[in-house]
Amino acid sequence: AQPAKLLVLPGDGIGPEVMREVGRVISWLEKNRGIAFEITEDLVGGASLAEYGEPIRNEVIEKARAADAVLFGSVGDPRRGHVGFDKRPEVAILKLRQELELFANLRPAKVFDALVDASTLKPDVVRGLDIMIVRETVGGIYFGDPRGIETLPDGTRRGINTEVYTTPEIERVARVAFEMARKRSGHVCSVEKCNVMESGLLWKEVVTDLHAREFSDVKLTHMLADNCAMQLVRNPRQFDVIVTGNLFGDILSDLASMLTGSLGMLPSATLGAVRADGKCAALYEPIHGSAPDIAGQGIANPIAQILSFAMLLRYSLNLQDEAKMVEEAVSRVLESGLRTADIMSEGMARVGTSVMGEAIVREL
Amino acid sequence: AQPAKLLVLPGDGIGPEVMREVGRVISWLEKNRGIAFEITEDLVGGASLAEYGEPIRNEVIEKARAADAVLFGSVGDPRRGHVGFDKRPEVAILKLRQELELFANLRPAKVFDALVDASTLKPDVVRGLDIMIVRETVGGIYFGDPRGIETLPDGTRRGINTEVYTTPEIERVARVAFEMARKRSGHVCSVEKCNVMESGLLWKEVVTDLHAREFSDVKLTHMLADNCAMQLVRNPRQFDVIVTGNLFGDILSDLASMLTGSLGMLPSATLGAVRADGKCAALYEPIHGSAPDIAGQGIANPIAQILSFAMLLRYSLNLQDEAKMVEEAVSRVLESGLRTADIMSEGMARVGTSVMGEAIVREL
Ligand SMILES: CC(C)[C@H](C(=O)O)[C@@H](O)C(=O)O
Ligand SMILES: CC(C)[C@H](C(=O)O)[C@@H](O)C(=O)O
């Protein structure tokens, strides 16, 4: 078999140190499961800005295009201070999404039994929580034109952004959500603000039509974005799959993650369209940020990055067994009582990044 | 003294029944505090649609303009089924905001000691919570042009909305937030998505400049909207005043309200520009909706509507003492153990809408 071609982009802050732990898992899989990887690593975000004067080079985009999957760390480095809007580290991830047409961001919010007390919500409210948010990531107000800041003749300045969604953009991401729901509890909740935004009205119509045409076996409900934020706090377990646009998805998926109380545990995948070679472009990243405040101290939790790699095994390489092995190793390590600082609680054993990584490999 | 001219708009669902309890408080103030009110009542929302074929008549807008303040119930009536985008009940509140230039929505999220257990969050996380969200309400993506749904030559449909903010629009709402913070704990957190939206970049710059020019005694911080959603769940007491645009404010204020676990308790005020007569237009409404599922059963909680009226006494009529009297009467009734169904807990006495209203008047 051809080796699996991965592009690894550790990025800024804790990115490189949590990515190192994925390296251990990769070595283990090579040695013990006979899986061949061909790995290229490169710079993105603040790290790339420092070296090349831009948050991501076209060359890196091309490497991403050529890879079977991209494993991304995190970007953002406040120590670099004010850089122009075009040079900010976030451009790296935004460009990768857009250039590779990575349109469906899958963000699970799952409460691990061993960590139910880490949540600020009462255990009875979040125990067993398992939500999948499917967020559209190449459209909406993030990329619509016109955009910018203009100065009017009288000196007043105007900031403008445009939310645009077309029928096919909505359909393709809704399709991912419906298919996902079929493998889960069979319920999709579509979220917009159709009571004030026409783009939300179109969103709702397109999702409703697609449902009637192809997915009537799945239960479909609709919810306004403000109500969804409330319901996620009031009774989050009412949700199975949530599908929504770029901006609402950004906010609601972060909110849902925080319900678990353990951001350092949560992976994500962003999938693109099927390419000419029959594969689809995909990028995997932890949902936590670059956490510059704790970078370099060896205390960051590597689990979200490792679980992102498990998602990569499952979705991009179709290695279901290996994905499961990694996920179960993580669960067992947690049950054994090891904790990084972010998920530490009384009576557990506090460990650093590399001890956690080693423990997971040992469980494999 | 001239009587205080109020326009009362009960609206749909539970609106009329909770408004009735405010009527008792008004009668009490007339009798016992010698305050004269001149009250006009009218229809809005589904109720107006049924009677006049539109969610709000121009005549009602004119009455609102002529009043010292508007006391609003809630709108929305799903039983009326599908009406066009222009006819939806929400148009009533959107038009009132826009026509009266009610640009600053003040949404307190406060946890009453007696109700700390009503929250889905752990008591230690929300005890003493007292946040004021100042949401811009006549600009942003709610009102920007171009907007609508268009069909392209190839049959694809496109939904479009535009987010627009100008320097003066941002300044005036930020000013309200800074002034509010001076009377509270002296901290404003300004929220946008300046890492992906230029309108957010302008927002941040204008708030920063205004702060430097006029409010350097207030502490100003900035936060991205997605992070703010997380922080509201992780540690909500870090906030004092939050100022943000229309769309983020919609979502984040609902989220913050739900942290208290008792929506039926929370009032809001929306203030406008100072008018020629030296007064400023203002509208007061509970943050809960029309709750059609429990309408007409006499079990709705009238407290949010009564506390909205207390805000009216304070902000529009400058009756500080009377506002305080009403608020304290509410606290005492809660301490005495009376509860409507929505805030019921073990060992308390469950009462309906009118018993709760009467009890509050008795405490006055
Ligand atoms: C880094 C930033 C541009 C990004 C976003 O807003 O999409 C982040 O918040 C995310 O959710 O992936
Ligand atoms: C009724 C609706 C238009 C409104 C809004 O979205 O602004 C409501 O959700 C609110 O927050 O007042």
What percent of chain B has pLDDT above 90? 91
Do the Cβ atoms of B161 and A197 come within 8 Å?
A: yes
Active site residue A226: yes
- Closest by Cβ to A156, choosing from B162, B166, B193: B166
Do the Cβ atoms of A141 and B142 come within 8 Å?
A: no
Please state, rounded to an integer, the average pLDDT across all residues of chain B. Answer: 95
Q: What pLDDT is stored for residue A85 in this prediction?
A: 80
Rounded to 5°, the CA angle B306-B312-B314 comes to 110
Rounded to an integer, the average pLDDT of A252-280 is: 91
Q: What pLDDT is stored for residue B81 in this prediction?
A: 62
Active site residues of B: 142, 193, 226, 250, 254
B82 has a pLDDT exceeding 80: no
Q: What pLDDT is stored for residue A82 in this prediction?
A: 64
Secondary structure (DSSP) of B116-139: GGGSSB-HHHHTT-EEEEEEE-SS
Same fold flag, A1-106+265-364 and A130-259: yes
A121 CB within 8 Å of a chain B CB: yes
In the DSSP assignment, the letter for residue B184 is T
**Residue B215 is encoded by which pair of tokens?**
């409010």
Nearest CA in chain B to A85: B195
Q: Is A141 in the pocket of ligand 1 (CB under 6 A)?
A: no
Active site residue A254: yes
Residues 6+ apart with CB under 8 A from B347: B337
* pLDDT tens sequence across A17-73: 999 999 999 999 999 999 999 999 999 999 999 999 999 999 999 999 999 999 999
If we measure between CA atoms, which residue out of B14, B17, B70 comes closest to residue B39? B70
In the DSSP assignment, the letter for residue A298 is T
From the candidates A250, A284, A315, A342, give the one annotated as an active-site residue.
Answer: A250
* pLDDT tens sequence across A135-189: 999 999 999 999 999 999 999 999 999 999 999 999 999 999 999 999 999 999 9
Q: How many CB atoms lie within 10 A of CB A227?
A: 17
Active site residue A250: yes
Q: What pLDDT is stored for residue B320 in this prediction?
A: 95
The answer for A 245-284 residues in CB contact with B (under 8 A) is 247-248, 250-252, 254-255, 257-259, 263
Closest CA of chain B from A74, distance in Å: 15
Confidence of residue B80 (pLDDT cuts 50, 70, 90): low
What homologous superfamily does CATH list for B1-103+266-364? Answer: Isopropylmalate Dehydrogenase (3.40.718.10)
Q: Beta strand B157-166 with B144-151: parallel, antiparallel or unpaired?
A: antiparallel
Q: Show me where the domains of chain A are located.
A: 1-106+265-364, 130-259
Residue A162 with chain B: CB contacts under 8 Å: 160-163
SS (H, E, C) A244-294: ECHHHHHHHHHHHHHHCCCHHHCEEEEEEEECCCCCEEEEEEECCCCCHHH
Q: Are B268 and B258 in contact (CB under 8 A)?
A: no
Residue B139 with chain A: CB contacts under 8 Å: none
Q: What pLDDT is stored for residue A76 in this prediction?
A: 84
B145 CB within 8 Å of a chain A CB: no
Do the Cβ atoms of B90 and A195 come within 8 Å?
A: yes
Rounded to 5°, the CA angle B211-B217-B221 comes to 55
CB burial of B225-237 (b: ≥16 within 10 Å; e: otherwise) equals: bbbbbbbbbbebe
Alpha carbon distance B225, A91 (integer Å): 18
- pTM of the full predicted structure? 0.95
Q: Which of B133, B152, B247, B342 should we substitute to test contact with A (largest number of A Cβ atoms within 10 Å)?
A: B247
Confidence of residue A224 (pLDDT cuts 50, 70, 90): very high
Q: How many CB atoms lie within 10 A of CB B269?
A: 21
Q: What pLDDT is stored for residue A78 in this prediction?
A: 72
- Closest by Cβ to B167, choosing from A157, A167, A235: A157
Q: What pLDDT is stored for residue A268 in this prediction?
A: 97
What CA–CA distances, in Å, run from B312 to B66, B72, B107, B325?
16, 11, 13, 13
What CA–CA distances, in Å, run from B16 to B25, B78, B284?
15, 17, 15
For the A1-106+265-364 domain, the top CATH level (class) is alpha beta
Q: What pLDDT is stored for residue B79 in this prediction?
A: 66
In the DSSP assignment, the letter for residue A45 is T
B235 CB within 8 Å of a chain A CB: yes
Rounded to an integer, the average pLDDT of A188-212 is: 97
- Closest by Cβ to A120, choosing from B121, B159, B199: B121
Q: Is A93 in the pocket of ligand 1 (CB under 6 A)?
A: yes
* pLDDT tens sequence across A76-115: 877 666 678 888 888 999 999 999 999 999 999 999 988 9
**Residue B115 is encoded by which pair of tokens?**
């109700």
Rounded to an integer, the average pLDDT of A258-286 is: 91
A168 CB within 8 Å of a chain B CB: yes
* pLDDT tens sequence across A339-360: 999 999 889 999 999 999 999 9
Residue A229 with chain B: CB contacts under 8 Å: 229, 251-252, 254-255, 258
SS (H, E, C) A225-246: HHHHHHHHHHCHHHCCEEEECH
Residue carrying structure tokens 């991830």: A93
Confidence of residue A276 (pLDDT cuts 50, 70, 90): confident
For A130-259, CATH gives: 3.40.718.10
Q: What pLDDT is stored for residue B85 in this prediction?
A: 80
Q: Is A229 in the pocket of ligand 1 (CB under 6 A)?
A: no
Rounded to 5°, the CA angle B284-B287-B290 comes to 100
**Residue B68 is encoded by which pair of tokens?**
């010292």
B296 has a pLDDT exceeding 80: yes
Q: What pLDDT is stored for residue A14 in this prediction?
A: 97
Secondary structure (DSSP) of B53-114: SSSS-HHHHHHHHHSSEEEEEE---GGG----GGGSTHHHHHHHHHHTTEEEEEEEEE--GG
3-state secondary structure of B48: helix
Ligand 1 pocket mutation pick from A75, A77, A94, A250 by most atoms within 8 angstroms of CB: A250
Report the atom number in ligand 1 closest to the C-alpha of A285.
12
Q: Are B270 and B135 in contact (CB under 8 A)?
A: no
